[in-house]
Structure 1
Amino acid sequence: MTRPPGSSGGARRVRCRCGRTVLRQLVGQRAALDVTADADELTAAAAAALREPNRLDWCLRTTKAGPDLRWLDGTHRADCPHPHVIDHQCKATAAPAARPRTTRKAPPVPAGQLTL
Structure 2
Amino acid sequence: MTRPAGRSGARRARCPRCAAPVLRQLVGRTAALSVVADAEQMSAAAAGALREPDRLDWCVYETRDGVDLRWASCHTRSTPCARRHAIDHQCIGPTPPADRLPAQRRTPKSSPVHPGQLTL
TM class by smaller structure: 0.7 to 0.9
Q: 1: distance between equivalents of 2:102 and 2:74?
A: 48
Q: Which residue number corresponds to residue 38 of structure 1?
A: 38
Q: Which moved more, 1:8-17 or 1:49-58?
A: 8-17
Greater percentage in helix: 2
Alpha-carbon distance, 1:92 to partner: 1.1
- In structure 2, what is the equivalent of residue 53 of structure 1? 53
TM-score (norm 2): 0.71
- The Cα of 1:11 is off from its aligned counterpart by 0.2
CA drift at 1:100 = 4.3
Relative to structure 1, the CA distance from residue 82 to residue 99 in structure 2 (aligned partners, 3 Å threshold; closer, same or farther) is closer
The ranges of structure 1 where at least 4 consecutive aligned residues each deviate by more than 3 angstroms after the TM superposition are 74-78, 98-101
Sequence identity, in percent? Answer: 54
Secondary structure of 1:49's counterpart equals helix
**Distance of 2:75 and 2:54 partners within structure 1:** 21
Q: 1:73 Cα shift?
A: 2.4
For residues 47-94 of structure 1, the C-alpha deviation after alignment (integer angstroms, 9 at most, x for no partner) is: 001000000000001001110001012686542111101000001111
> Could you list the runs of 5+ residues in structure 2 that have no partner in the other structure?
1-6, 105-120
Q: Are the equivalent residues in 1 in contact too, given 2:24–2:35 (CA < 8 A)?
A: yes
Q: TM-score scaled by structure 1?
A: 0.73
User: Which ranges of structure 1 fall in alignment gaps of 5 or more residues?
Assistant: 1-7, 102-116
Larger Rg: 1
Alignment of 1:57-96 (within 5 A): 57-73=57-73, 77=77, 78-96=79-97
In structure 1, C-alpha distance between the alignment counterparts of 2:75 and 2:41, rounded to whole Å: 21
Aligned amino acid, residue 35 of structure 2: V
| Aligned amino acid, residue 11 of structure 1 | A
